[in-house]
A = this chain, B = another copy of it.
Amino acid sequence: MSFLLYFLYICAMEKFQVHILGCGSALPTRHHLPASQVVSLRGKLFMMDCGEGAQLQCRRSHLKFANLNHIFLSHLHGDHCFGLIGLISTFGLQNRTSDLHIYGPVGLQEALQPQLDFFCTGIPYRVVMHEVSTKHSEVIFEDRSVSVTTIPLKHRVPCCGYLFREVQSLPHIRRDMIDFLKIPHYAINSIKEGAGWTTEDGKFFPHERLVTPAKRARSYAYLSDTTYLPQNAELVKGVDLLFHESTFLDRDKSFAKQTFHSTTKQAAEFAKMADVGRLMLGHYSSRYDDDNLFLEEAKEIFPNTILANEGLVVEV
């Protein structure tokens, strides 16, 4: 039984998933909720955007609040952040003690602090706000599992996307070789990190014979909301999964231009240019009744496209 639990734990720790909590745009509809996603990576949760209802969607998705310590806001339009104060408040009621870090463009403090002052005095944890630059790409968070890099976007207010890159795991030790060569325990870490091994009789075994390679590190880019910016393709080149907003269909590209959004065609062209593994569409305008219109338009240019939908869990 304990082996089974350990196995399940290892599987969970290997996972890199994106949970879609909401993928509508400014006007909520009966089909779609405002923007929010959660990246689940090696047991930790990272939220991107926090539209109204995000905490309820978290519960529906059985995501554990306690594992969420970092929230990344693309910009300070209501459909991307009106769920934040409710989530912060709920954490307070649950007697959370660990810091909650919130990253977002300039204005974050001005928008959030008055709400915290009125509604959240005396909560038993700290809300730490980080205002990030939306002008240039920079690493804003790193731990042993992941790095998060901003991607400058162009919208009606300061806005950026976020690129999640899994940290490359060390290779796996070949237990058979360790046993056969009687390599002592203290040498294991240096072998994992690239060293070879010389036996007592002077025979050298190179690193590559002592390990099997780890899985390739995975990556996910979240780009919403933005006008079409082909120059960003280089920044997210080759990511496994790209979320690119596609608020409008190509037939409404004048609206897209006017409101600093992208069309589905542009999202697909961007995905092709950036040579990504898969493209996920979302941030659908409420004017369309049938999401499949987005899918059809994108697939003509980039076949490996999927549609975001509330409750969807995508393995990166």
Contacts and interface: CB of A to CB of B under 8 A. Distances in A.
A85 B118 CA distance: 14
Interface in A93-109: 93-94, 107
Interface in A75-112: 76-78, 82-83, 85-86, 89-90, 93-94, 107, 110-111
A59 B78 contact: no
A90 B28 contact: yes
A27 B58 CA distance: 13
A85 B76 CA distance: 13
A16 to B, nearest CB: 26
A55 interface: yes
A57 to B, nearest CB: 10
29 contacts: A26-B93, A27-B93, A27-B94, A28-B55, A28-B90, A29-B59, A30-B59, A30-B60, A33-B56, A34-B86, A52-B52, A52-B53, A52-B55, A52-B56, A52-B83, A52-B86, A53-B56, A76-B119, A77-B119, A78-B86, A78-B89, A78-B119, A82-B86, A107-B118, A110-B118, A111-B118, A114-B114, A114-B115, A115-B115
Interface of A: 26-30, 33-34, 52-53, 55-56, 59-60, 76-78, 82-83, 85-86, 89-90, 93-94, 107, 110-111, 114-115, 118-119
